[in-house]
Amino acid sequence: KNQVEQSPQSLIILEGKNCTLQCNYTVSPFSNLRWYKQDTGRGPVSLTIMTFSENTKSNGRYTATLDADTKQSSLHITASQLSDSASYICVVSASIYGGSQGNLIFGKGTKLSVKP
């Protein structure tokens, strides 16, 4: 069964600290993996998208890694800011054609709170 699991479910860190969010998936065939940031009550915004051949991708203070062998991904946030408080959602596409919607599997997200 295609599944995406994220950990931790929630996380509280102090402003300025780094943190790492995890995503494990059992999705086949794998096409790509995306990380989204969702502010409370807002639509998700894409942070990174990685294909099978990519193992690291950065977007400012956000760095995503992908290990296709172990089917794990992580999102590392450096020097956290109060505005990083949000849910971070891992999404895996199961289609070799880049993901018609029926093949997008969403994780439940990690809720990050950055405190001053």
What's the min distance (Å) between Cβ of 100 and other proteins? 5
Q: Which is nearer to other proteins, 4 or 19 (CB)?
A: 4
Pairing, β 72-77 against β 19-26: antiparallel
Taking the complex as a whole, how short is the minimal distance between the CB of residue 18 and other proteins, in angstroms? 25
Task: Find the binding residues for other proteins in span 84-103 (CB under 8 A).
Answer: 89, 95, 97-102
Return the number of the residue (5 or 17) whose C-beta is nearest other proteins: 5
Residues 24-53 that bind other proteins (CB under 8 A): 41-46, 49
Q: Which long-range contacts (CB under 8 A, 24 or more apart) does 26-30 make?
A: 26/1, 26/2, 26/71, 27/2, 27/3, 27/71, 27/92, 27/93, 27/94, 27/105, 28/2, 28/94, 29/94, 29/95, 29/96, 30/68, 30/71, 30/92, 30/93, 30/94
Q: Closest distance between other proteins and the C-beta of residue 114, in Å?
A: 19
Binding site for other proteins (CB under 8 A): 41-46, 49, 89, 95, 97-102, 104, 106-109
